[in-house]
Amino acid sequence: MPVTPIQKDTSILRPRARIIRTIGEELISNDIVAIIELVKNSYDANASIIEITFQGRVIDVKEGKKTKKVLIKQGSSIIISDDGTGMNLDTVKSAWMEPATISKKNIKRSAGDKRRYTGEKGIGRFASAKLAASLKMITRPKEDNEIVVDFNWSDFSDDNKYLDQVECSWEVRAPSEIKVCGTTLKILELNSDWDEEKFGELRIALSRLINPVSPITDFFINIQLPKELNSLSGLITAPESLNKPDYTIKGSIDEIGNPDITYISRKVGKPQKIKLETLQLRNPVRKPVIGPFSFEFRAWDRDNESLKRIATEIGSTLKNIKGDLDDLAGISIYRDKFRVLPYGEKKNDWLRLDIRRVNNPTLRLSNNQLVGYISVSLDKNPDLKDQSNREGIVESQALTDFKEMITLLLNELEIRRYEERPRESDESQTRQSLFNNFSITPITQLY
């Protein structure tokens, strides 16, 4: 074997084309997260409405004794259209075709300073690769021609090609599909089937995407499905039952921990100001290393009598009310009005509320009794940074302090709820059995 000659030079990293598919699989965990990323892109483009249309053949599939409707992937597509600002050719070539672009990192707000960008990592285009084999993007800025770009994601699976050897064709043509301005994504040759349950999960995820406490009034999301699934079509809205809590605590904490908090209960009715000292953390006692934030926590007793009263008030059923709370329970974080995943998802008890309740079931609230909203700003909370996959905040002292602050605020809600609840009921439950309300489910779900 010949000896390598002594020499010195430089080389460049030249990624294989399949890095696009590999990164997409790592950064976008599932189809619903992929659609959420594309919705965020439309919001960043100053769109006022986004239409998500599923097209394809729906069949009945039997699962045991039940039959469910399934949009099969063969021949199906997803069309996502918005009325945003659209992109010119330079933007398409320099931003959309540039993975991990810094275009949103350098410019924090959308055109006209209307909105704080929700995306900064340049991973939105990977979402369509997660959903399907190919993408046709049509985009048009106001008073300009249309630009059509074709992405064949299977080209990026060729082990023999390098990234710079894959070409994506484009053309500028006279306007034919977009009347004024905006972007349409035609996501073709879907990678997976969509059944009724998956569509339901998509609607829930989209209904939680925008903070309902501080709603965005100039951005709407509409879903259109084939006629067989028409019951799941329509504008995305939050259920009315969420506006009927038994107890609410809301307010804000400034940058040095000073609270401004109000408590409201169905029983008392009149809002009550809560007087608290500046919140300080323990071990050791100190001020938190986070910026200001606002919050609202809504709680329900979840006994049948209370939920039936809500059902009567809004013309619903006990089953539907329980379903709404099961679907939307949890405490969610919203950054600049958009939700940060996975906080508040089912089985994501990030504040360990169920463990707290096991230790003190009479006082503490469980995760499924709460619907909570916490609003932060990236500009004022720069240490609460997204993970690269956009599904969580990077572990840091700021996040640890943030969790402790939220727990302190929940404690204020729990104490006031405990004081209002009739003690006779608690005593009778205690007499029945020591283990009546004991369950290891919250513990097993953590493992």
How many CA within 13 A on the CB side of residue 444?
A: 3
Structure tokens at 303: 């006994």
pLDDT tens digits, residue range 154-186? 888 888 888 888 888 999 999 999 999 999 999
pLDDT tens digits, residue range 316-332? 999 999 999 998 899 99
Alpha-carbon 167 to chain mean position = 33
Quick one: which of 380, 396, 409, 403 has its CA closest to 279? Answer: 409
Residue 119 has pLDDT above 70, yes or no: no
pLDDT tens digits, residue range 251-273? 999 888 888 999 999 988 889 99
- The pTM for the full model equals 0.78
Q: Please report, for residues 161, 251, 263, 267, 274, the alpha-carbon distance to residue 271 in angstroms, rounded to integers and kept in the order given.
A: 65, 12, 6, 11, 10
Sign of the CA dihedral with 267 first, then 270, 276, and 280 last: positive
Lowest-confidence pick of 4-18, 49-63, 218-232: 4-18
> What is the predicted pLDDT for the residue at 427?
46
Could you tell me the strand order of the sheet in which 338-340 lies? 272-274, 259-265, 247-253, 293-299, 370-376, 330-335, 338-340
Q: How many Cβ atoms sit within 10 Å of the Cβ of residue 57?
A: 13
Is there a contact between 251 and 260 (Cβ–Cβ < 8 Å)? Answer: yes
Residue 439 has pLDDT above 70, yes or no: no
Looking at per-residue pLDDT, the higher value among 216 and 316 belongs to: 316
How far is it, in rounded angstroms, from Cα 223 to Cα 234?
Answer: 5
Domains within the chain, CATH numbers bracketed: 19-235 (3.30.565.10), 240-444 (no CATH)
> What is the predicted pLDDT for the residue at 440?
44
